């Protein structure tokens, strides 16, 4: 990332932070939520309208359609994460941000015009249909277990199967569906809602920041025109890798911002609350906890920047993103937990975002690959490299 890129990203990040703190934060207690306490679309569209007016909508994608570098994106997305509503307002949230990135890299001109443009404009939400129900023996962290099938029928493809934990499926306008053909894995772009995609249920989950929750869906003879296939048949797993490493890192960026804010709130509380004759901050247990937060936050920031630099170099960054996802999610879990502990009863109440950030980070340790899966992947790499070095 050159100096001009850094200055550009810093300027955008400054405007985003001002918008999130001044405009978005007051909405954190807005009652417009669904029955699972996720933000209602009415709230999302209102916030995006304000972001559009402020010039901070989809800030990581520039007016000419180019994308900030990953290091620049990290600076900007961390600022959107200062509120759980910030990524929704600024259109940098999951899964939309990752889907935009994938379409920008792999999509045809037709797919970009029909599906990418409304996503970038913030007028549509999207969903990524890959994970499948465990009870079906379907794909989770191991996509090779995919059971959803697709077959060519004339000028169309016919898709059948079930998907689970599909973030934002309820209420989305754009879907990327992954299925398995004789040629291998395939991806398709679909308009939503579609009568052939039936939402079975939306389970209650620990987190509550993503509109539509995480649905279980059935795909029953979903018919998709051939020109809506993303790339080539059989290349779906390769395309998934294009999306996964940057998407893992984007999660780290956003939740790093959330933990910065949670730590601010806990620090303010500790410097105002009296107990046993002195401020909480003057009690060693509390002061040391906040000191440890600073250390974990700085390590998370440096890991994100390192991995972003690897991706900016053109490398796939699979192992680097795995290391970063593990290190950052575990560090942020410690930060969020300490913030709750420092604030005591106030930390488990919904009066501040601290309680929500704790829940969201706990879920983050599973989303985009649990810690154990990434460690297993890294262990395989270690063994492979050892074998190569000793042959």
Where a domain ends, among 76, 93, 110?
93
| Peptide bond before residue 193 is cis, with ω within 30 degrees of 0 | yes
Q: Identify the segments of the chain with pLDDT beneath 50.
A: none
Token duo for residue 389: 């070095």
Q: Are residue 263 and residue 199 in the same domain, yes or no?
A: no
Do 163 and 89 fall into the same domain?
no
Q: How far is CA 155 from CA 152, 197, 228, 292, in A?
A: 7, 20, 11, 59
Q: By the 8 A CB rule, do 203 and 134 touch?
A: no
- The residue whose two tokens read 């930060």 is 335
Secondary structure (3-state) at 231? coil
Nearest to 91 by CA among 35, 11, 174: 174
Q: Would 98 be classed as within a structural domain? A: no
Backbone angles phi, psi at 42, to 5 degrees: -55, -40
Rounded to the nearest angstrom, the gap between the alpha carbon of residue 3 and the centroid of all alpha carbons in its chain is 27
From the number of C-beta atoms within 10 Å of its C-beta (0-12, 13-18, 19+), residue 277 rates as: exposed
Do 327 and 182 share a structural domain?
Answer: no
pLDDT number for residue 2: 63
Domain identity same for 376 and 242: yes
Q: Are strands 149-153 and 126-129 parallel, antiparallel or unpaired?
A: unpaired
What is the predicted pLDDT for the residue at 3?
A: 66
Q: Number of C-alpha atoms within 13 angstroms, CB side, residue 143?
A: 20
Model pLDDT, residue 57? 98
Count of the separate structural domains present in the chain: 3
Domain of 53, in residue numbers: 3-93
Is 207 in the same domain as 249?
no
Residues 250 and 356 in one domain: yes
Mark whether 322 and 301 lie in a shared domain: yes
């Amino acid at each position: 990332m050159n100096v001009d890129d850094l200055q550009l990203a810093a300027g955008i990040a400054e405007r985003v932070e001002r918008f999130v703190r001044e405009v978005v934060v007051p909405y954190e207690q807005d009652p417009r939520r669904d029955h699972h306490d996720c933000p209602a679309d009415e709230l999302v569209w209102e916030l995006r309208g304000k972001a559009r007016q402020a010039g901070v909508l989809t800030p990581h994608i520039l007016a000419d359609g180019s994308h900030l570098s990953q290091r620049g994106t990290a600076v900007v997305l961390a600022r959107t994460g200062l509120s759980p509503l910030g990524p929704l307002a600024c259109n940098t949230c999951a899964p939309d941000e990752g889907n935009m990135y994938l379409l920008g890299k792999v999509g045809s001109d037709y797919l970009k015009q029909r599906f990418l443009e409304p996503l970038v404009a913030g007028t549509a939400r999207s969903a990524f249909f890959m994970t499948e129900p465990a009870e079906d023996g379907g794909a989770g962290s191991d996509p090779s277990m995919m059971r959803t099938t697709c077959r060519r029928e004339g000028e169309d493809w016919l898709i059948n199967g079930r998907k689970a934990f599909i973030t934002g499926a309820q209420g989305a306008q754009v879907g990327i569906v992954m299925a398995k053909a004789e040629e291998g894995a395939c991806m398709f772009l679909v308009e939503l809602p579609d009568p052939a995609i039936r939402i079975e249920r939306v389970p209650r989950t620990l987190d509550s920041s993503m509109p539509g929750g995480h649905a279980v869906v059935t795909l029953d003879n979903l018919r998709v025109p051939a020109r809506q296939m993303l790339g080539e048949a059989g290349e779906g797993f390769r395309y998934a890798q294009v999306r996964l490493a940057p998407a893992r890192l984007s999660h780290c960026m956003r939740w790093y911002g959330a933990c910065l804010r949670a730590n601010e709130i806990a620090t303010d509380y500790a410097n105002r609350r009296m107990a046993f004759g002195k401020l909480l901050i003057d009690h060693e247990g509390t002061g040391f906890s906040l000191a440890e937060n600073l250390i974990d936050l700085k390590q998370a920031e440096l890991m994100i920047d390192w991995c972003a630099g690897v991706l900016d170099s053109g490398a796939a960054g699979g192992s680097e993103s795995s290391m970063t996802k593990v290190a950052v999610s575990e560090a942020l879990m410690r930060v969020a937990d300490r913030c709750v502990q420092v604030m005591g009863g106030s930390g488990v109440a919904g009066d501040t975002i601290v309680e929500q950030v704790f829940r969201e980070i706990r879920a983050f340790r599973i989303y985009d690959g649990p810690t154990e899966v990434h460690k297993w992947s890294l262990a395989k790499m270690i063994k492979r490299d050892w074998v190569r070095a000793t042959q």
